Amino acid sequence: MRLLVVTSQFPLAGEPTRGRPIHQTLRELARLATVRVLSPVARYPRWAQPASYLYHAPDPRQPVTELDAAWPTYPALPALTRPFNGWLCARAIAAEARAFAPDLILSYWLYPDAFGAQRVARRLGVPFVAGARGSDIRVRDAISRRLTVPVVRGADRLLVVSADLGRLAVADYGADPARVRVIANGCDAAIFHRRDRARARAALGVAADAELVLYVGRLVAEKGLRELAEAMRSLRRTRPRAEWVLVGDGPLQAEFAALAADPSSGLRLAGVQAAPQVAEWMAACDLLALPSYSEGHPNVLVEALACGRPVVSTPVGGVPEVVDASCAVLVPPRDARRWPMRSPPCSTATGTRPPCRSGFRAAGTRSPPTRLPSAAKRSPRAAPPPDRRSKRPCAESPDSWGTRNAPSRRARRWRR
């Protein structure tokens, strides 16, 4: 099979860790099919850079992946071209897509990437699969939301990373539940696994008696980092050995760099790190913090569990599908006063205890993806099905809901 993947959530020059979960998935798919990746990049003029993220221009001369990939660009202006970015994306990828002659097009990130990929798939007469990650389906602005609807409804399959996003796609966007599949994020168990904490701290220059809180991700307000800063200030008044590390970069980089310059903050900025270095930081920490306002299926939590580290997070999106009371404390988002900076029950001093999510099993076991029940379409406000969570945070979700709907006409034609 010749599989064309269209996604902006993919490594590029200046941001080699971008879209790491997707990159990991595509590397595995490349073992089963002939995969080519088109990663469209919006090209902004110097005088109109976006404020919501750090813009990096693609540079094909800097290798960032072993996959067959290209980074076509299209012109854009912040906010102004948003209604047209889907069409501009389609035009940017059309020639390369036609030359590759795919049997199927898969696109992660619903707008503008999947919008453009869907138009190209229709022109080529090939099946189209869309993948929603989280914030691309929890759209805030009305324009992007309206343009996301035809992608969600028209895809031959809609892949989501959590059951929560699947219910959202059905209830808010009118997705056909028979076409929705839940495939949770996985992790590379060869990299993320239990290791000696003392050795990791020595390698990273962390004091042996420090109480270390780790955050890994983009430095943006929506991740609750200002609330985390407030909580750490409060914590250090009574626990002066408490320290915290931010791994990643983003628009709040300068703000937190100024905070880290004050030794009394206990903050250290580690910058963007490759997966092995992230795993080293997880080994060194006492707990991982993820105070997000919304999430899809946060890969960093899966990796923390694989490293045997407890979590303090918020019960948003797919977070409760990843962690439970055996390994996490979940607190309301946007409320630093409710953040109990203490380790959940499975925290240990040595870091040698097994992964703490109840039912956690070794990675590598495969099972079919979850299907959404047909009742979700008939009654969007109905209570969700019984929680039969995956016992393998590092593998796909099991087919635990059991309801199997007849495939659509297009899906039957695709299967043939």
Instruction: Give the global pTM.
Output: 0.78
Assigned fold of 2-155: Rossmann fold (3.40.50)
Provide the pLDDT for residue 48.
81
Instruction: Please spell the DSSP secondary structure of 345-405, one letter per residue.
Output: TT--SSS-SPP-STT---TT---PPEE--THHHH-TTSPPPP----S-TTSPPP--S---P
Mean pLDDT, the chain, rounded, equals 83
CA distances from 175 to 159, 297, 307 (A): 11, 19, 36
DSSP classification of residue 179: G
Query: What is the band of 369 on the pLDDT scale with cuts at 50, 70, 90?
Result: low
Question: Residue ranges of the domains in the chain?
Answer: 2-155, 197-338
Is residue 57 pLDDT above 50, yes or no?
yes
Beta strands 180-182 and 370-371, pairing class? antiparallel
Tokens of 240: 């002066």
Is 197-338 in the same CATH topology as 2-155?
A: yes
CATH 3.40.50.2000 matches 197-338: yes
User: Which helix (H) or strand (E) element contains residue 131?
Assistant: strand 128-132
Give me the residue label for tokens 């955050």: 215
pLDDT digits (tens, 9 = 90+) for 157-212: 999 999 999 999 999 999 999 999 999 988 899 999 999 999 999 999 999 999 99
Tokens of 290: 């993820």
Is residue 394 pLDDT above 80, yes or no?
no
User: Which helix (H) or strand (E) element contains residue 213?
Assistant: strand 211-216
Query: What is the band of 99 on the pLDDT scale with cuts at 50, 70, 90?
Result: very high
pLDDT digits (tens, 9 = 90+) for 322-344: 998 888 999 999 987 777 655 45
Contact 259, 229 (CB under 8 A): yes
| CA–CA distance, 178 with 155 (Å, rounded to integer) | 11
Q: Which of 276-290, 307-321, 351-365 has the lowest mean pLDDT?
A: 351-365
Q: Among 315, 307, 316, which Cα is nearest to 283's?
A: 307
